[in-house]
Structure 1
Amino acid sequence: MVLSLGVDTGGTYTDAVLIRDEADVIASAKSLTTRTDLAIGMGKAIRAVLEDAGIAPSEVSMASLSTTLATNALVEGQGGRVALIYIGFRESDLEKHGLKDALKGDPALVIAGGHNHAGGEAATLDLEALKDFLSSHDGVSGFAVAAQFATRNPAHELEAAQIITEITGAPVTCSHQLSSKLNGPKRAVTAVLNARLIGMIDRLIGRAQDTLRDIGIDAPMMVVRGDGALMSAEQARERPIETILSGPAASIVGARWLTNVENALVSDIGGTTTDVALIRDGKPMIDPAGARVGGFRTMVEAVAMRTHGLGGDSQVHPVTEGLKGGVFLGPRRVLPVSLIAAEAGDVVHAELDAQLRMSAPSEYDARFARRVPGVPTDGIDTRAETLLERLGGDVVPLNKLLRTRLEGSALTRLVDRGIVQVSGVTPSDASHVLGRLDAWDVEAARKGLELFCRKRIGSGARLAPTPEEMAQLIVDQMTEQTALTLLETAFAEEDQDFGLPAEVLARHVLTQRGLANHRGLLALNTALNVEVVGLGASAPSYYPAVGKRLQCQMRLPEHSGVANAVGAVVGRVTFRRSGTVTSPTEGRFRVHLASGPQDFNDAEQAMKVMEDHLRADARDAAKEAGAEDIRIIVDRDVRSAQVEGQDVFVECSVTVEASGRPRVALG
């Protein structure tokens, strides 16, 4: 008997499942994710699932982890302070593909160097400028290096990385190691995000491995990538960017395993995000343009997933303009009032009661802050340091923490870095008030919604008469925004082009009137023509109404609340490696290798050299991840042109895929 342990560390809950012989879920468990120390929540979930199944830790043959941590960090703008070394580009190139936004004010050095399309050196690498920059920039947790045409010749990236390591000792991400495709600015974005995530994911994996050892599980640990495949924990530490969409990808794999659906939209609601993807002909669709998350388009191969900042812990914003008013959810996650009250009840209830006695509402009603221990604070400004001193280790109401408007901006920066968490009214609080959830402090949720009710709309009336009606307004908005997310995905994946962006089509008046079954001179009907698989612990609370709204079949499978953890167990180890053969001059064929370009006189020989190199690289990566019975698939995409009636070789892209099941520990 092979027992596999799957663990998913989400923004709110950590899930654990035990699967026997890759066929049956024999136990599952949940625990609150403990951001102060992820190992605490992870350990509770693992111990609970072992106890429920009556299994000794030594009987576990394999452990696998999926996580939304990287995805959530990018959606919420969190992560470490980084620096970009941008070689061979212009200053203006920092504006392309959102690179400046990805840097978020972190330093960047643009220096001479780089190569041309054929892999030849375009300019000498400016080493003096690099060394001067490194000597004047402290507090950087990771460096990203991106050079022009580095996928054709990575020499300058490698040389710069070596110098950075020697001088700073900080981790370095080279863009050519993350993707073999052209498009330097986009590769640079990917490298910056990878560098930003390194410390965070390293801490997560380290604590996960410590937890397994403490419990007594001596089995190899795997991590789910964004395409649903597995890699080793050590590989994930080096390339944390590949874990973006890890949790959502695992949920797609889990949904397929739990339901055997051939064609369906899968919608996974967590605490921070709602992730929607399409399963077509039994396989998750892969995004050909690279994973897009948190507003950034990366070059990471991942499931074609639309990730929205919409979850059970999304911040509820009042809409007070106009005579009707309403609410809007997300994209930022906050701690539910009911949750922070469950952890610091005396402080929270005393402040909520004081706020309820006030004659007028305040923007800081039901808002609290607390520091997250253990998160590095390098590079923060004086105002942020003052806030941290005021916070100490306590839960503090925002109206007592913030004394000026400028301190509000400093608090936002601390939240973006993951150093501080703030609370607010969320859909989870609404579900507590409506009796759909009772995990945390129901009375605190009710007080929080009572405070929210008191906000005034354009007519001068309250936003809602009672906490119950306020809660229903929030849940109805969750239904509406979830339905829009599903419609956007459906329009984006349609084979037919409707001539407008998916976001516009989902909100178009004809679409919305069709959902309402408009009957006038025209009869309009709109519905999803594919079933939806709803996943997530809160899916049963919200998704039946979504199915009715979209007039489609909504499937909520057994174990849907732990589908991410299921998917973490049942995936395969898969590695794809790609490379390019070009023809710089007639009769000469250039193989672009990591060690530098090599020229050959025969096209077939050049392609064979590239194939052999990629085959060995992919197989080694799969072996390093612990794969057995490795299968190799090779694909060549040869592009040619007609010259004087003859086919002339232009370029060939070679892709090699190595896959196998992960090796298990034998008792």
Structure 2
Amino acid sequence: MTQRKLKIGIDVGGTFTHAVAIDVTRTELVGKAVVPTTHGSEEGVAAGVVQSMLRLLEEAAISPDEVVLIAHSTTQATNALLEGDVAKVGVLGLGSGASGLRARREANVGRVELGPGAFLETTFRYLDVTGGLDEAKAAALIDELIAGGAKAIVAAEPFSVDRPENENRVVALAQERGVPATATAGLTQLYGLRMRTLTAVINASMLPIMIETANRTADAVARSGIDAPLMVMRSDGGIMDIDAMRQRPILTMLSGPAAGVAAALMYERITNGIFVEVGGTSSDICLIRNGRPEIKAAEIGGRRLFVRTLDVRTVGVAGGSVPRVRRGKLFDVGPRSAHIAGLEYESFTEDLGDVECALMRPKPGDPEDYLALRRGGDITHALTPTGASNLLGLSEGYGRGHAASIQSAFEAAGRYFGTSAKAVATRMLELGAARVAPVVKRLVAEHKIAATDLVMVGGGGGAEAVVPFTARSLGMEFKIARHAEVISAIGVALGILQDSVERTLLHPTESELLALRREAFDRVARMGADPETIEVHVEIDRRERRVRATASGSPQLRTKDLSGPRPGEDELRAIAAGPLGVGETEVSSLGSRDSWLRTFTAERRARVFFGLFRVWRMPATVLDAEGVVRYVTKDAFAVATKAEDAEGQLSELIERYTTWGDGGLVVPEVQLVKPHQIVDLSGLGEANQLLALASAELAALDAADPVTILVIPRS
């Protein structure tokens, strides 16, 4: 019997820590366990990570040698910033001449506001490095910073992205004194000393507590007998090894929602959709396009950082939100929840019995307009969207509660409002949808997508209380994720290894782009990613004058391990027809039928210019062998070829579909479909850049390997 290969994912939440085991061969959940999050333990949340893992091994009968990877999320960085539980940071500015004046001005960031009432304290010293770094003087200044209360050090010098030696030496001097340190150029290769220093200061402030947590977690896992890589969730949806977390804990900041999005991508295999993760108090919303979540720059205290996070919008409505009353009518739900108000859920209480409705104030200073349930003289239970979804027959999974208790609660609400129990439940879910729907509308409008072209996917224990009504109000299809209550832990287990490199380049040459691509590739390869799985996406931001290369890969090449039935040719054609907007008989297959990735195209007529004219469009979609849609475009020119001929044909296609715009030549968007990968070249804006990176991607293929070129004209 073949031994299973299992990934363990552990999601550290505010109340509970969930652990799951995923069979990487079939992407199936084989076990799950939960323990209370161990905030009060001497080992901190690391204790809960190990406790949940050990319980999972026991309850799911998992042998330690079956585990090939352990990954966990962490709220510690985010909580430390929100609560101001961070270390004082000493900044040593370096410079000479005019750059010295700049270092004194821009590297001295002062007191940093993290949020309402939360601040990060810094202290500053300056060292003139004209003629080179004087290590004795640098050491003396570091000692002064430490004596002034600094628990971590930042080295900041203008243009250190080009000459990092001085910053690196200061970091080494601090570490020799047992103090963690960060070089600004060690976090980002972008110019902009003020923002680079601020990013480094935030990172350094978390180093003491995060290094301690990382060490405790690694030691505890080692003692458990599991010999597998230990990874941590990043804020951009990828994972990184524990050593990277010890150096760059800032990359775990705001990573809570990232785990759920990773599950939507890797477990539910969503290509184009809105993922809504619904907890008890709030819901997180993220847009996924062509298998990629939208990304944005992180902010702290209203100031941007050189850190990328998922573009997640949070709304204060969820499965435990408490309804509110004005002039005898329901007018809102939330933002207070049963958990915050100290109330129990009506739906999860066995034999609730007779209750009556009463208004209450969840927290001092809150308005006394929240509707709750009085039982035996005391206000003890909440009327929740979770209960409402149960009453209306929408809850079939984790959120399913005790029918008699739910009926009793909503009948009491019906008497209070002079209407039926179902009318109250319907109104509550409508109000919840009214909070979420505008956020979804803004999100899709910003990215110029029609909501009806997307599917809404619900995750989290409260998904059934929010997603169905919201999707229907927007005319969208929806689905509730499998094992929605542990979707974040699943996302942690399936998270891909990821890292990115950014540089300020005014006019990037082909050699500079290739070097940046190689650096990103090598970073992920060093973490343990199988080189055959590594994909590198290079994009050029002309407005910001920066280039970014993001590499991602998996420790195992999943496509080689899959077994079991797969869709036949007719079924694949039918699946492809849906996003193409045509009948399955109108769909054509391009290229080899033996490849893991398959391209399907069609032709259809579309009206343009207010319906006055009709034009032919060639939509295309790429499916994998399991029938999962991996890429969709409404209009493309597609060519199936071989690797040895692809570069020449691509050159001809780029020339043919390049147009003139207000700013000059506009090259088309290009996607290369290799046998196992889609190479996204859409971030490049010049023909020579496209051809250089395409050549690098094609070099690893055999001459006869099939390749499909998708060229999408830009408007």
Quote how far apart the aligned CAs of 1:283 are: 2.1
Counterpart amino acid of residue 557 in structure 1: A
Shift of 1:431: 9.2
Task: Output the CA distance in 2 between the equivalents of 1:271 and 1:148.
Answer: 46
Q: Which residue of 2 aligns with 1:522?
A: none
What is the distance in 2 between the residues matched to 1:479 and 1:77?
A: 37
Equivalent residue for 1:221?
230
For normalisation by structure 1, the TM-score amounts to 0.61
Equivalent position SS for 2:520 = helix
Maintained 8 Å contact 1:527/1:550 = yes
The answer to whether 1:534 aligns with 2:427 is no
Mapped contact 2:273–2:454 kept (Cα < 8 A): yes
> CA offsets per residue over residues 13-40 of structure 1, 9 Å max, x none?
2111111115211222222211123233
- SS of the equivalent of 1:70 reads helix
What is the distance in 1 between the residues matched to 2:366 and 2:491? 45
**Who is 1:107 aligned against?**
122
Distance 1:195 1:478 in 2: 44
Which among 287, 291, 297 is matched to residue 278 of structure 1? 287
Contact 1:99/1:188, CA 8 A, preserved across alignment: no
The equivalent of 2:80 in structure 1 is 73
Q: Deviations over 1:124-166 (max 9, x none)?
A: 999599457415412x332333333333433443344344334
Distance 2:345 2:527 in 1: 46
The DSSP-based 3-state class of the residue aligned with 2:261 is: helix
Query: Is the contact made by 1:75 and 1:309 (CA closer than 8 Å) also made in structure 2?
Result: no
1:636–1:652 Cα contact (<8 Å) kept: no
Q: d(CA) in 2 for partners of 1:106 and 1:39?
A: 27
1:588 is aligned to none
Greater helix proportion: 1
Once the two structures are superposed, residues 195-240 of structure 1 have per-residue CA deviations (whole angstroms, 9 ceiling, x without a partner) of 2222333233333323333333221112222222222111111111
- 1:294-313 superposed matches below 5 A: 295-307=302-314
* Equivalent residue, structure 2, for 1:154: 164
SS of corresponding position for 1:6: strand
Inter-CA distance 615–549: structure 2 relative to 1 (3 Å threshold): closer
CA distance in 1, matches of 2:122, 2:319: 35
Local SS of the residue matching 2:461: coil
Correspondence for 2:498:
574
Equivalences for 1:327-406 in 2 at 5 Å?
none
**CA distance change for structure 1 residues 293 and 579 in 2, over 3 Å: closer, same or farther?**
closer
Post-superposition CA distance 1:489-512 (Å, at most 9, x none): 5414425789xxxxxxxxxxxxxx
Q: Which amino acid in 2 is paired with 1:661?
A: S
Q: 2:344 aligns with which of 402, 413, 433?
A: 433
Q: Tell me how far apart the structure 1 counterparts of residues 125 and 67 of structure 2 sit (CA, whole Å).
A: 50
Structure 1 residue corresponding to 2:50, chosen from 43, 55, 58? 43
1:171: Cα distance to partner? 0.8
Amino acid at match of 1:68: T
Between the aligned partners of 2:104 and 2:431, the Cα distance in structure 1 is: 42
> What is the 5 A alignment of 1:177-188?
177-188=186-197
Which string of whole-angstrom CA distances, capped at 9 and with x for unpartnered residues, describes residues 166-202 of structure 1? 4x52111222211122232222232122122223332
Change (3 A) 1:455 1:182: closer
* 1:625 and 2:632 aligned: no
Is this contact kept in 1: 2:11–2:18, CA < 8 A?
yes
Aligned to 1:233: 242
Query: Which residues of structure 2 form unaligned runs of 5+?
Result: 95-99, 387-426, 558-715
- Secondary structure of 1:494's counterpart equals helix
Contact 2:236-2:308 at 8 Å conserved across structures: yes
Secondary structure of 1:627's counterpart equals coil
Partner residue of 2:580?
A: none
Stretches of structure 1 lacking an aligned partner (at least 5 in a row): 331-424, 499-525, 584-602, 641-650
Q: 2:278 aligns with which of 255, 269, 276?
A: 269
Backbone CA RMSD of aligned residues: 5.1
- Are the counterparts in 1 of residues 124 and 145 from structure 2 also a CA contact under 8 Å? no
The residue number in structure 1 matching 2:442 is 491
User: Aligned residue for 1:31?
Assistant: 35
* Residue pair 1:634, 1:654 contacting (<8 A) in 2 also: no
Matched ranges for 1:541-552 at <5 A: 541-544=465-468, 546-547=470-471, 552=476
Q: What's the offset of the Cα at 1:12?
A: 1.9
CA contact (8 A) 1:58 1:217 kept: yes
List aligned pairs for 1:136-155, cutoff 5 A: 136-138=147-149, 140-155=150-165
Query: 1:292 Cα deviation (Å)?
Result: 3.8
d(CA) in 1 for partners of 2:228, 2:214 = 14
SS of the aligned residue for 1:204 comes to: helix
Inter-partner Cα distance in structure 2 for 1:172 and 1:279: 36
Corresponding residue for 1:55? Answer: 62
Task: Return closer, same or farther for 1:261/1:111 CA change in 2, 3 Å cut-off.
Answer: same
Structure of greater Rg: 2
1:258 paired residue number: 267
Give the 3-state SS of the residue equivalent to 2:457 in structure 1.
strand
**What is the rounded CA distance, in whole Å, between the counterparts of 2:21 and 2:204 in structure 1?**
33
Structure 2 counterparts to residues 101-140 of structure 1, below 5 A: 101=114, 104=119, 106-109=121-124, 111=126, 127=138, 130-131=141-142, 133-134=144-145, 136-138=147-149, 140=150
In structure 2, the residue corresponding to 1:181 is in which secondary structure? coil
Question: 1:175 and 1:85 mapped to 2: Cα distance?
Answer: 11
Give deviations 1:491-543, integer Å, cap 9, x for gaps.
14425789xxxxxxxxxxxxxxxxxxxxxxxxxxx998744322223334555
Label 1:327 to 1:431 Cα distance change in 2 as closer, same or farther (>3 A): farther
Q: 1-side partners of 2:499 and 2:524: how far apart?
A: 6
Q: Is the 1:198–1:237 contact (alpha carbons within 8 Å) kept by the matching residues of 2?
A: yes
Cα distance 1:528–1:10, how it changes in 2: closer, same or farther (>3 A)?
A: farther
Q: In structure 2, what is the equivalent of residue 357 of structure 1? A: none
Which amino acid is the alignment partner of residue 556 of structure 1? I
TM-score, reference length from structure 2? 0.57
Report the secondary structure of 1:300's partner residue. strand
Larger RCO: 1 or 2 (CA < 8 Å, sep 6+): 1
Residue 419 of structure 1: aligned partner:
none
Instruction: State how 1:551-562 maps to structure 2 within 5 Å.
Output: 552-562=476-486
**Against the structure 1 CA distance between its residues 295 and 533, is the aligned structure 2 distance closer, same or farther, given a 3 Å change threshold?**
farther
1:42-87 Cα offsets, whole Å, 9 max, x none, are: 2332233333322222321221222333234334444333334455
Task: Pick the aligned partner of 1:244 from 216, 233, 253.
Answer: 253
